[in-house]
Amino acid sequence: MGVRVIEKGKTGAWYPMNETAVQRLNDPEHITGRRVRIGKFYFPHGSSAFRECPNCGKLTCFLGDSWGYDSETLFPPQIINNGGVDINPRSMEEREARNNGVNDAVQCIHCGAITEAHHSAMIMQTNFKGGHPPYIEEIQRDMKVAIENAKHIILFGYSFPSDDFIYHSIFAARKRLDDQLKCSIVGYGSGAPDKWLSGQELKQYVEQNESDGVAVVYKNVKPLFNEKNIRLYGKGIPEVFLFNNAVSKTRVDQLLDWC
């Protein structure tokens, strides 16, 4: 995926390293003076920033003109007047398209065709929508493999609704292969204490606070994991990270390193 360079204010195209390049750089016999680590972020339902090229069918992802939480160009150009935000054209073709009234024009980085807002690739909620773009299916397949190889799943503010049947089936299959997969639930419940609950404490909390949102998540998750491998934190986010109102390394370790 081509993205913007985010260093020193440059706006040129940058193509992040793939796994093969990382393995080569990290090879002890290939001295480079640095080590590289990559992670994956999956968008299995698609994204409003995705554009499916009508010409070549490939993915272009719009990531804005600046790198920052307060970026006004976080979302792609809009159909009408770009939502009042001035988004700089990234090419002469984009500029020409916008001058001709195509306010939502984003150029495909692969073949140069102009994409519009109706080319956004998204699957809404249940995944029953037909005609998935090939890269959405590729994302889902890659995520399935990652889940199959995982040792610890963190449901971070995710309710695991029953209509997300694809993910229910993935975890059900994972349990049949190996019932040792651990699951941490992070959510909010009005009656939850500021600590991790598991075993008998967790059962007692769920019985006494059945209507709490985080207790409902536990009930959704319970059939898909071994009970002894489920724990719950119910004071929400960012409290799960905090100690004395500051981010705590110990608390972060407690979240990530439950093995």
Question: What would the pLDDT profile of 110-151 be if each residue is shown by its tens digit?
Answer: 999 999 999 998 876 555 556 778 888 899 889 888 888 889
The structure tokens listed for 247 are 């981010």
**Cβ(236)–Cβ(190) below 8 Å:** no
pLDDT under 50 in the chain at which residues? Answer: none
Predicted local confidence at residue 129, as pLDDT: 59
Predicted local confidence at residue 239, as pLDDT: 94
Predicted local confidence at residue 157, as pLDDT: 85
Predicted local confidence at residue 14, as pLDDT: 59
Predicted local confidence at residue 111, as pLDDT: 95
Tokens 């692969």 found at: 110
The structure tokens listed for 2 are 């081509």
